[in-house]
Amino acid sequence: MPNAQLVGVADTVLERAQRVAAPYGARAVADHRLLLDDVDAASIAVPTAAHFAVARDFIERGRPVLIEKPMTRTLAEADQLLALAERVPAAGSGRGVPIQVGHVERFNPALLAAKSHLTTPLYVDCDRIGPFTFRSLDIGVVLDLMIHDLDILLDLIPSEVVSVDAIGVRALSPYEDIANARLTFANGCVANLTASRVAMHAKRKVRIIQSDSYLSIDYGLRRALVSRKRPNAPDATKVDPTTLPDVKAFVLDKLICVEEIPMSAHDALEQELLAFLRTIATGAPPPCSGRDARRALALASRILDSIEANRRRREQP
C-alpha cells in the first residue's frame, strides 16, 4: 500500500519473523516490545490469549492498533484496553488511541451489496463451518468463528438480544468445536447460528427472511441473491400444479423473482487495512471499533455461559 510502510515484524519464532520481513526490508524481532518506538501503528495477529498484553503495550505508547478478532479472550481484558485507549492520547494528536478489530467479514462485498436490500429482518440463519486447521486452539469455535456472525448481526439489527440458548460439543480440542445458538431480539427477530471447525467442507452463508423479501449471502463465493414475490403474481392457492409442465419454472417465471445483487470485486482484507490507515490519518472512527467488538464479545460470552449451563443440565443424574 503506497501510504504505509511495513517497518517491523515480531514473532516469538524469530526465523518466521525473518521470512515475512525480509521481502520488505523490514526489521525482524522475537519480542514485539522492540518495535514500540519504531512504528506509527501496529497490526496484532497473535494468538487470542496474547491479544491483551500485546495491544496494551502499543496502546500505552499511543500507537493505534488493529487487533484480530476476537478483541480479547475476556470482557475484563476488553474493558481494560478500552479504558486505556480512552485515557492515553494517540501519538501526534490529543485524541485517544484508535482501536479497530479485525471483523473482516464486514468488508465482504456480498454483505455490503446485500445491505441495500435490508429492511427489517424477521429471521436470520447463519452457517459458518470448516475443516479442522489446528489454528486458534486457545479458544473455542464461538470466539474463533461464530463471533464473525455475532458482530454482523449486532451491526444489522438495531435491537437488544433478550434471550440466548446454545449448545456446544468438544470434538478435537479442550473447547467447543461445534456450537449452535438461538438468539431472540427485543424487536422479535430470531437468529439461528451454527459454527463448526470440524466439518468436512467449508461454508460461510447467511439467510435473512424479511416481510417482503428473502436474502441469501454466500461470503465464500461472494454472491448475494434477493428473492421477492412478483408484483402481478397469481394466487398460488388457486394454481393446480398437476396442470403445470414444469412447476419450478412456473414458480420462477410467475410467482417469485430471484435477482443476483451486483457487487464490487474488492478484497475484504485489503479494504479492512485501508480503513485502518484512514482512521490513523484522518481521525475518523474505525468501521469496527473496540466498542463494537466488545459488544460482540459480550454476546459470545452469553452464548458460552448458555453452553456451559446446558452441559451441566445434561450431566446431572
- For 156-189, the pLDDT digits (tens) are 999 999 999 999 999 999 999 999 999 999 999 9
283 vs 215, which has greater pLDDT? 215
Instruction: Decide: 12 and 34 in contact? Cβ < 8 Å.
Output: no
pLDDT for 198 equals 95
Cell of 273: 487495512
Q: Could you identify the residue written with the cell 470448516?
A: 130
Cα separation values, 39 from 5, 26, 35, 59, 114, Å: 9, 11, 6, 12, 37
pLDDT tens string 146-157: 999 999 999 999
pLDDT for 241 equals 87
User: Rounded to an integer, what distance in angstroms lies between the CA atom of residue 271 and that of residue 273?
Assistant: 5
pLDDT tens string 189-219: 999 999 999 999 999 999 999 998 999 999 9
Order of strands, sheet of 42-44, starting from the edge strand that comes earlier in the sequence:
42-44, 65-68, 99-102
- pLDDT tops 90 at residue 288: yes
Taking each helix axis from N to C terminus, what angle separates 51-60 and 75-87, rounded to the nearest 10 degrees? 10
- pLDDT tops 80 at residue 93: no
Q: What is the mean pLDDT of the chain?
A: 94
- The pLDDT confidence band at residue 34, using thresholds 50, 70 and 90, is very high
156 C-beta neighbours (distance < 10 Å), count = 17
Position 233: which residue type? A
pLDDT for 127 equals 98
| Strand partners of residue 214 | 209, 227
- pLDDT tops 90 at residue 94: no
pLDDT for 45 equals 95
Distance of CA 29 to the CA centre of its chain: 30
pLDDT tens string 113-131: 999 999 999 999 999 999 9
What is the value of pTM for the model shown? Answer: 0.92
Q: Which domains does the chain have, with CATH numbers?
A: 8-103+269-301 (3.40.50.720), 105-267 (3.30.360.10)
**Beta strands, E only, the chain:** 8-10, 27-29, 42-44, 65-68, 99-102, 121-129, 161-169, 178-185, 190-196, 203-210, 214-218, 223-229, 256-260
Position 291: which residue type? R
Position 69: which residue type? K
